[in-house]
């Protein structure tokens, strides 16, 4: 186990956010013995194309996490309407406070502070409030940020990057999105790795780190 990281929570406003933002790091943490919980807040049924069932993304999520090593028992989902998180801010905060009491994580992954998506902003702001006494790092979604403070990196091996790619491959309903591309995913990992002199990495905003 990576020292001090026994329990970890990864907050996903929408299914696939965690995979994109920190999927390789999650795989590495689980390999090292950490207990990782995946929390998704919306089935995003209003965003799905008409040919898919309204629960399609949650079904894909259950398949995706198997590649990262997360068990279904450590998957928690909520049913907030996509793009309406700001009006549900207080309820979401209460969910997060309850999760903190239930799990008592040593580390929380959440969207970074510069993410412009309204749902991501809400999870970031309320997550910081709920887990203010916990280690927190913000993951990147390059298409949602004009700037990103990448002052913390996790080195990835091939096995971690491949697990991330396989996890994201389960989201067939999202194939139309231009950023759901293996070359982009691997290319970003290569860029972040180059920043620290290794082959591959994921980068994060260090929000709070407690030693």
CATH number, domain of 35, equals 3.40.50.10320
| Cβ proximity of 112 and 149 under 8 Å | yes
Cα(192)–Cα(203) distance, integer angstroms: 6
Q: Can you tell me the distance from the alpha carbon of 169 to that of 175, in angstroms, rounded to the nearest whole number?
A: 9
Does any domain span residue 101? yes
pLDDT at 3 over 90: no
Using DSSP's 3-state secondary structure scheme, residue 176 falls into: coil
pLDDT of residue 50 exceeding 90: no
Q: Is residue 188 part of a domain?
A: yes
- Chain-centre distance for alpha carbon 20: 7
- Beta strands 107-111 and 75-77, pairing class: unpaired
Cα–Cα distance for residue pair 53/33, rounded to 1 Å: 35
In angstroms, rounded to a whole number, what is the distance separating the alpha carbons of residues 47 and 40? 15
pTM: 0.97
191 is a domain residue:
yes
Percent of the chain, pLDDT > 90? 91
Mean pLDDT of 80-106: 98
Q: Count structural domains, the chain.
A: 1
Residue 153: phi and psi, rounded to 5, are -130, 150
Single out the residue of 111, 88, 87, 89 nearest to residue 39, CA to CA.
111
Q: Half-sphere exposure of 130 toward its Cβ, with a 13 Å CA cutoff?
A: 29
pLDDT at 12 over 70: yes
Q: Is residue 71 part of a domain?
A: yes
- Please report where in the chains the tokens 């700001």 appear, as a residue: 86
Q: What's the pLDDT band for 1 if we cut at 50, 70, 90?
A: low
Instruction: With respect to residue 2, please indicate whether it lies within any of the assigned structural domains.
Output: no
Which residue range is the domain that position 83 belongs to? Answer: 7-208
pLDDT in tens, 135-181: 999 999 999 999 999 999 999 999 999 999 999 999 999 988 988 99
């Amino acid at each position: 186990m990576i020292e001090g990281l026994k329990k970890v929570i990864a907050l996903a406003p929408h299914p696939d956010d965690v995979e994109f933002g920190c999927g390789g790091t999650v795989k590495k943490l689980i390999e090292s013995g950490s207990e990782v919980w995946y929390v998704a807040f919306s089935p995003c049924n209003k965003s799905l194309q008409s040919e898919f069932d309204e629960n399609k993304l949650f079904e894909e999520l259950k398949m995706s996490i198997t590649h990262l090593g997360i068990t279904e028992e450590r998957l928690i989902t909520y049913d907030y309407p996509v793009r309406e998180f700001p009006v549900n801010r207080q309820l979401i905060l209460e969910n997060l406070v309850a999760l903190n009491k239930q799990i008592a994580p040593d580390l929380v992954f959440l969207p970074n502070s510069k993410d412009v998506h309204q749902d991501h902003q809400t999870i970031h702001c309320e997550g910081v409030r709920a887990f203010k006494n916990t280690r927190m790092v913000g993951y990147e979604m390059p298409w949602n940020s004009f700037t990103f403070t990448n002052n913390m990196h996790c080195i990835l091996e091939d096995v971690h990057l491949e697990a991330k790619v396989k996890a994201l491959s389960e989201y067939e309903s999202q194939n139309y999105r231009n950023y759901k591309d293996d070359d982009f995913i691997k290319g970003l990992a290569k860029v972040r790795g180059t920043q620290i002199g290794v082959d591959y990495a994921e980068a994060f905003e260090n929000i709070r780190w407690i030693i």
